[in-house]
């Protein structure tokens, strides 16, 4: 009778099933609940949805607040969750558990076996993303309808979702599909969607554009700088069969020595001006030329995170002296379709009036155009966008500011700073005048807190923080007047 009693006393193992691939959102949600419930790593079995349940269904856990983790840990989790290692979620939860249970500085201990292993996983995923960005090639699909392009790629890790935004930014005017053995991504010119795995035979072997690209590659190949070892290190042979220019490499390498001698013997001459293929230039000639055209694209786009009622566009006159950039729409903004009309927006409007700024003459917008939230009962609770989500919307913001042409751009809060600089910069360190320089857009800027920050402060601290915010806005009004003069 002793064995059953021992079995009954053994702690129950929690089985947590996540979606196939890189289910970062599911992992974060589960990790919050598990840490909140005090469930240690050894009591959790992480599985992929559809895998056999070895430990029975997981018990329901209550909602829990977001975990406050060091930046290095957050970045590591975001990348390592895309690794193909089946133990990735168990390793990441062990990291979170230790960070939240007395080892806050764990990420700084590079010699720790867990930190070292996750660092290697993060590095491997980063390399895989770089290879996909560099070595994926689109081919025109022969179709009787709209012109489409397709590409086949075999990533080593679950990077398709993370990598897709890169291709949206660069080929926004095309309609394309990326097929992989794990899943597919499709861009229809307005929205990005993901679907089931594809097949290599669904992508054409070549097209006319590819032949032009190969000719261009051959014309720019420098035989004097041929280095086979470096070439294989930078461009592994496993990717060659998907890249049109690699068909020319063997012949170019064989002829390299003779061409080098010929180049040395040839008398110096001014190089002939070479024009890239017209098809390459055309890819970048379909951008919106007006704010109305850009807003039409934004309206049609599906939210990156489902649930938003509508896209919330910027508001204000083209050519405004001041442009204010916030984080993302809140609940009221999502319902009304206008920026800065919720509690934080009302506080901003009041502070702006005290500082002598007419909101109607300023341009106000958000870094992210759709409302992201967590549903708690009937309430939609604002959820901060991730760095990847901010990056997804960044092209829109860059183009929006280019078309509005403000004299001074004001970043309200850390998310706006990330969108405008591409970097995580603490507000306390950078608060004040700043210079924004991204994607050819160069703006005089100013960094201050987001008005929602003031709403979260305890009552005894609100008055002082509000006065400092109004002081920032007065300085912003002065700088704007100076720049407009």
Domain count along the chain? 4
Please determine, for residue 217, whether its predicted confidence score (pLDDT) is greater than 60.
Answer: no
Closest Cα to residue 129, out of 97, 165, 102?
A: 165
Please determine, for residue 187, whether its predicted confidence score (pLDDT) is greater than 90.
Answer: yes
pLDDT for 327: 95
Question: Which SS3 state, helix, strand or coil, does residue 439 take?
Answer: coil
Answer yes or no: do 434 and 296 share one domain: yes
Please, which pLDDT band fits residue 139 given cuts at 50, 70 and 90?
confident
Question: Which SS3 state, helix, strand or coil, does residue 249 take?
Answer: helix
Instruction: State the CB neighbour count (10 A cutoff) for residue 378.
Output: 5
- How many whole angstroms separate alpha carbon 150 and alpha carbon 140? 6
Please determine, for residue 210, whether its predicted confidence score (pLDDT) is greater than 50.
Answer: yes
Answer yes or no: do 325 and 420 share one domain: yes
- How many whole angstroms separate alpha carbon 204 and alpha carbon 107? 46
Is 333 within the bounds of a domain? Answer: yes
Question: Which SS3 state, helix, strand or coil, does residue 186 take?
Answer: strand
pLDDT digits (tens, 9 = 90+) for 2-44: 444 444 445 677 889 999 999 999 999 999 999 999 999 999 9
Answer yes or no: do 151 and 123 share one domain: no
Instruction: State the CB neighbour count (10 A cutoff) for residue 29.
Output: 17
Task: Name the average pLDDT for the chain.
Answer: 83
Please determine, for residue 57, whether its predicted confidence score (pLDDT) is greater than 50.
Answer: no
Determine contact, residues 357/473, Cβ cutoff 8 Å: yes
pLDDT for 19: 92
The structure tokens listed for 256 are: 């390299």
The structure tokens listed for 128 are: 């895989």
Please, which pLDDT band fits residue 466 given cuts at 50, 70 and 90?
very high
Is 38 within the bounds of a domain? Answer: yes
The structure tokens listed for 342 are: 């919720």
**Range name among 1-15, 29-43, 64-78, 427-441 with the lowest pLDDT average:** 1-15
Sheet strands side by side (includes 363-366): 363-366, 322-326, 408-412, 441-448, 432-438
pLDDT for 56: 46
Which residue is it, tokens 């075999």?
154
- How many whole angstroms separate alpha carbon 365 and alpha carbon 415? 13
Please determine, for residue 479, whether its predicted confidence score (pLDDT) is greater than 50.
Answer: yes
Q: Which of 130, 160, 179 is the last residue of a domain?
A: 130
pLDDT for 7: 44
Q: Which of 181, 202, 223 is the last residue of a domain?
A: 202
**Range name among 103-112, 308-317, 388-397 with the lowest pLDDT average:** 388-397
Answer yes or no: do 144 and 15 share one domain: no
Q: Which of 100, 130, 160 is the last residue of a domain?
A: 130
Please, which pLDDT band fits residue 281 given cuts at 50, 70 and 90?
very low
Q: pTM of the full predicted structure?
A: 0.47
Closest Cα to residue 12, out of 61, 57, 63?
A: 57
Answer yes or no: do 118 and 145 share one domain: no
Answer yes or no: do 178 and 228 share one domain: no
pLDDT for 352: 96
- How many whole angstroms separate alpha carbon 115 and alpha carbon 95? 8
- How many whole angstroms separate alpha carbon 293 and alpha carbon 360? 22
CA dihedral 466→468→473→474, nearest 10 degrees, is: 120
Question: Which SS3 state, helix, strand or coil, does residue 433 take?
Answer: strand
Task: Determine which helix (DSSP H) or strand (DSSP E) holds 149, and give its type and residue range.
Answer: strand 148-152
Is the pLDDT higher at 201 or at 227? 201
pLDDT for 38: 92
- How many whole angstroms separate alpha carbon 406 and alpha carbon 319? 6
Is 286 within the bounds of a domain? Answer: no
* CATH code (residue 323): 3.40.470.10
Instruction: State the CB neighbour count (10 A cutoff) for residue 445.
Output: 24
- Could you tell me what percentage of the chain is helix, strand and coil, using 3-state DSSP and rounding each to the nearest 5? 50, 15, 40
Phi, psi of 370 (to 5 degrees): -120, 150
Please, which pLDDT band fits residue 346 given cuts at 50, 70 and 90?
very high
Please determine, for residue 218, whether its predicted confidence score (pLDDT) is greater than 80.
Answer: no
Name the pairing type of β-strands 441-448 and 408-412. parallel
Q: Which domain holds residue 47?
A: 2-130
End-to-end alpha-carbon separation of the chain, Å? 90
Please, which pLDDT band fits residue 102 given cuts at 50, 70 and 90?
very high
Answer yes or no: do 358 and 437 share one domain: yes
* Beta-bridge mates of residue 441: 438
Question: Which SS3 state, helix, strand or coil, does residue 29 take?
Answer: helix
Answer yes or no: do 112 and 181 share one domain: no
Determine contact, residues 426/339, Cβ cutoff 8 Å: no
Answer yes or no: do 253 and 343 share one domain: no
Please, which pLDDT band fits residue 184 given cuts at 50, 70 and 90?
very high
The structure tokens listed for 413 are: 């809060």
Is 22 within the bounds of a domain? Answer: yes
Question: Within its chain, how far is the Cα of 473 from the centroid?
Answer: 30
Answer yes or no: do 463 and 329 share one domain: yes
Answer yes or no: do 110 and 239 share one domain: no
Q: Under 8 Å CB-to-CB from 444, ≥6 apart: which residues?
A: 407, 408, 409, 433, 435, 436, 479, 483
Please determine, for residue 161, whether its predicted confidence score (pLDDT) is greater than 80.
Answer: yes
Is 186 within the bounds of a domain? Answer: yes
Answer yes or no: do 141 and 120 share one domain: no
Is 214 within the bounds of a domain? Answer: yes
pLDDT for 49: 75
Is 111 within the bounds of a domain? Answer: yes
pLDDT for 249: 56
């Amino acid at each position: 009778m002793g064995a059953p009693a021992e079995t009954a006393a053994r702690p129950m193992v929690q089985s947590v099933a996540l979606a196939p691939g890189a289910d970062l959102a599911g992992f974060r949600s589960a990790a919050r609940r598990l840490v909140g419930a005090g469930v240690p790593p050894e009591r959790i079995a992480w599985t992929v949805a559809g895998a056999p349940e070895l430990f029975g269904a997981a018990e329901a856990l209550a909602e829990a607040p977001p975990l406050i983790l060091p930046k290095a840990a957050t970045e590591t989790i975001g990348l390592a969750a895309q690794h193909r290692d089946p133990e990735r979620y168990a390793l990441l939860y062990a990291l979170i558990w230790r960070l939240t249970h007395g080892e806050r500085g764990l990420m700084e201990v590079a010699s720790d076996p867990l930190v070292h292993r996750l660092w290697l996983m993060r590095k491997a995923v980063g390399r895989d993303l770089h290879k996909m960005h560099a070595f994926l090639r689109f081919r025109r699909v022969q179709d009787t309808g709209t012109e489409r392009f397709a590409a086949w790629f075999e990533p080593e890790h679950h990077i398709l979702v993370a990598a897709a935004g890169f291709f949206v930014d660069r080929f926004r005017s095309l309609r394309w599909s990326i097929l992989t053995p794990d899943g597919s991504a499709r861009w229809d010119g307005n929205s990005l969607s993901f679907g089931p795995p594809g097949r290599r035979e669904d992508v054409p072997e070549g097209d006319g554009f590819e032949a032009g690209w190969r000719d261009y590659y051959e014309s720019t190949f420098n035989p004097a700088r041929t280095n086979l070892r470096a070439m294989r290190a930078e461009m592994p042979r496993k990717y060659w069969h998907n890249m049109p220019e690699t068909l020319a490499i063997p012949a170019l390498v064989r002829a390299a020595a003779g061409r080098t001698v010929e180049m040395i013997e040839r008398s110096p001459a001014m190089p002939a001006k070479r024009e890239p293929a017209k098809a390459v230039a055309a890819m970048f000639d379909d951008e919106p030329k007006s704010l109305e055209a850009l807003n039409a694209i934004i309206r049609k786009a599906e939210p990156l995170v489902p649930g938003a009622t509508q896209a919330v566009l910027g508001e204000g006159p083209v050519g405004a002296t001041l442009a204010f950039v916030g984080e993302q729409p809140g609940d009221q903004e999502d319902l009304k379709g206008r920026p800065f009309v919720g509690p934080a927006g009302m506080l901003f409007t009041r502070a702006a009036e005290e500082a002598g700024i007419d909101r109607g003459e300023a341009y106000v917008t958000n870094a992210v155009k759709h409302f992201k939230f967590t549903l708690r009962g009937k309430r939609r609770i604002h959820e901060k966008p991730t760095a990847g989500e901010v990056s997804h919307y960044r092209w829109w913001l860059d183009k929006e500011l280019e078309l509005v042409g403000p004299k001074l751009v004001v970043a309200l809060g850390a998310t706006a700073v990330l969108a405008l600089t591409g970097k995580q910069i603490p507000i306390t360190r950078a608060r004040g005048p700043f210079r924004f320089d991204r994607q050819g857009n160069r703006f005089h800027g100013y960094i201050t807190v987001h008005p929602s920050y003031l709403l979260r402060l305890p009552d005894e601290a609100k008055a002082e923080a509000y006065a400092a915010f109004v002081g920032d806005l007065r300085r912003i009004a002065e700088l704007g007047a100076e720049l407009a003069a």
